Amino acid sequence: MRRIRIGMGQTDPTVGDLVGNTAEIIRCIEEARSLGVDLLTFPELAITGYPPEVLLLKPQFIKQTQLSLAEIVEHSSDMVVVVGFVDGGDNGDIYDAAAIVCQRKLAGVYHKISLPCYGVFDERRYFRAGSGCPIFSIGGVGVAVAIGGDIHGTEPAIAQTCAEAQVLVNVTAFPYHVENGRSIERMLVAMARRNSVAIAYNNLVGGQDELIFDGSSLIISRGGEIVARGRQFERDLIIADLEVVEKHLSQAVVHTVSAEFPALAKPALSAKPREQLDNIGEIYRALVLGTRDYVRKNGFEKVVIGLSGGVDSSLVATIAVDALGSGNVVGVSMPSRYTSSSSKSDSETVAKNLGIEFKVIPIEKAFGSYLEMLSELFRGPVPGVTEENIQARIRGNLLFALSNKFGWLVLACSNKSEASTGYTTLYGDMAGGFIPLKDVPKTMVFELAQHRNHEARREVIPLSVLGRAPSAELRANQKDTDTLPPYELLDPILKAYVEDDLSIAEIIGRGFEAEVVVRVARLVDRNEYKRRQAAPGIKITTRNFGQGRRLPVTNRFEEQVNTF
């Protein structure tokens, strides 16, 4: 029986920032060394960030990645370091890879075998699949390395490796969606027990465009006990001591590395795994992290938000303040002739509660001038959706004028229920550089607002906002329910249709009214053209719009529904 000290750098890289990401890795190596770590790991593609997408087609990007790896090797000193990078072969093939570094030498490279190509994953577009999964015998300890879902695959080489290794390092970049953390834990614990192997599961953290990585790295003993758990939605250096028992290593899978783990004279660490957030708490933190990382990684200081006095913009402002600080958030109220006095006062209250800069720009002047400019052409048709959209687009223009003038990023406040049904104005309330609630259904917007108030033990978002019936306020006495079913009815239908691919007939079979289901499904299908022009936003469900759900815009599919 021996003891080794394992460290995991839960880093937050920026895609493409080879210099910055490498510097963060080296800082982490130095900190781990001072803490007596023997084996230090970093996540999948920690050097490049995940996913690099078409950067991977640039030979120069691959070359510079190798230079970054060489720099890390140089700084590894006497630790064993495992770090994710992109390995480039001479023939132009590239691999999603992990480097195993010992005593300032590259001791081995593992190539990811199982390349997902569905949902948000596109790995087979870029990477060649690896084969073979050796165990690195380091000072007599059998260490196996696997990337991402490789360990859950059916590859016989991996199964053998998992069974024979003493420590299994699983570096990964696993995008967050609600409730996935718990299932990963269960799977890894079962795997550790089944194979009597200690597992170091090292996940990325951070926001990258639409994806959130939640960290939540794990160190699991060979008995299946969770010895340490990394912070959720934050950078971390996780350290734990693991006991290692002898195992027979078949020669077939072993790659012997001429390195020793130093004798462990240091006292044993006793770690206590952190508590996990509940579901709604996780989602809120994901939105904060995603907003912060998008804004900061794209070089912005401040954001501007159109505050309508409704729950969506109130929540976005709250998230922005939690992400960036109240000094970096500007709220703008842009009332029209249809804005109620309670909406006006609520938007001001939200700004006051959050302590953010608040501006008011009434849009009547511009609205009037558009109506005048169009009066001759529009003679005849009665005012309707056109006039509603003009107001929303004036607001979009004003926010972008502020953005242009002062360099603020515009956060748009539309939500997933609106994007699904097209109940949103292109270039109007959709206008923005980023859409924090893009994947958040309206009913969850309310839950998140209540959660945030509850956490603060005060009304950050006023109860009057939460209590008012949702309205776009683009005509007199407008309510969302004039156009859409109530959100409590709409959201589960949307989930079934968009996220779970149920047929219309199946959804009706779950007890929803046929007419409503058909209408909702048609709205989803017909509004892809709007979604195609939406800014990026944070993915929190199993399926967001965008990369993971590419519906053709030109699409005439209509389900045959025989039930009515």
Shorter beta-carbon distance to its own copies: residue 218 or 410:
410
List 12, 29, 42, 61, residue binding its own copies (CB under 8 A)? 61
Q: Does 361 bind its own copies (CB under 8 A)?
A: yes
Q: Does 454 bind its own copies (CB under 8 A)?
A: no
Q: How many amino acids of this chain bind its own copies (CB under 8 A)?
A: 86
Name residue, tokens 């993971």.
Answer: 548
Q: Does 563 bind its own copies (CB under 8 A)?
A: no
Q: Does 475 bind its own copies (CB under 8 A)?
A: no
Contact pattern for its own copies over residues 538 through 557, marking x by CB under 8 A:
---------x-xxxxxxxxx
Q: How far is the CB of 544 from its own copies (least distance, A)?
A: 12
Q: How far is the CB of 26 from its own copies (least distance, A)?
A: 17
How far apart CA 483 and CA 132 sit, in angstroms, is 57
Q: Does 245 bind its own copies (CB under 8 A)?
A: no
Q: Footprint of its own copies on residues 298-357 (CB under 8 A)?
A: 298
63 contacts: CB under 8 Å, gap ≥ 6: 88
Sign of CA dihedral 232, 238, 243, 245: positive
Q: Footprint of its own copies on residues 252-271 (CB under 8 A)?
A: none
List 58, 352, 454, 510, residue binding its own copies (CB under 8 A)? 58
Quick one: which segment of 141-149, 217-225, 401-409, 511-519 binds its own copies (CB under 8 A)?
401-409
Q: Footprint of its own copies on residues 64-103 (CB under 8 A)?
A: 64
Q: Are 44 and 21 in contact (CB under 8 A)?
A: no
Q: Are 301 and 407 in contact (CB under 8 A)?
A: yes
How far apart CA 151 and CA 4 sit, in angstroms, is 22
Beta bridge partner(s), residue 411: 305, 434
Q: Footprint of its own copies on residues 371-390 (CB under 8 A)?
A: 372-374, 377-378, 381, 385-386, 389-390
Q: How many residues would you count in the chain?
A: 564
Cα–Cα distances in Å, from 196 out to 76, 190, 225? 29, 10, 11
Q: Footprint of its own copies on residues 208-237 (CB under 8 A)?
A: 208-209
Shorter beta-carbon distance to its own copies: residue 106 or 551:
551
Q: Does 564 bind its own copies (CB under 8 A)?
A: no
How far apart CA 394 and CA 371 sit, in angstroms, is 12
Q: Does 493 bind its own copies (CB under 8 A)?
A: no
Shorter beta-carbon distance to its own copies: residue 92 or 262:
92
Q: Does 560 bind its own copies (CB under 8 A)?
A: yes
Calculate the CA 223 to chain-centre distance: 31
Smallest Cα–Cα separation from 227: which of 249, 214, 211, 244?
244
List 4, 6, 8, 15, residue binding its own copies (CB under 8 A)? 15
List 1, 34, 60, 272, residue binding its own copies (CB under 8 A)? 60
How many CB atoms sit inside 10 A of residue 48's CB? 27
Shorter beta-carbon distance to its own copies: residue 64 or 279:
64
List 178, 400, 464, 522, residue binding its own copies (CB under 8 A)? 400
312 contacts: CB under 8 Å, gap ≥ 6: 413, 414, 415, 437, 442, 445
Output DSSP code: residue 267. Answer: P
Q: Are 464 and 478 in contact (CB under 8 A)?
A: no
Q: How far is the CB of 535 from its own copies (least distance, A)?
A: 6
Q: Are 538 and 212 in contact (CB under 8 A)?
A: yes
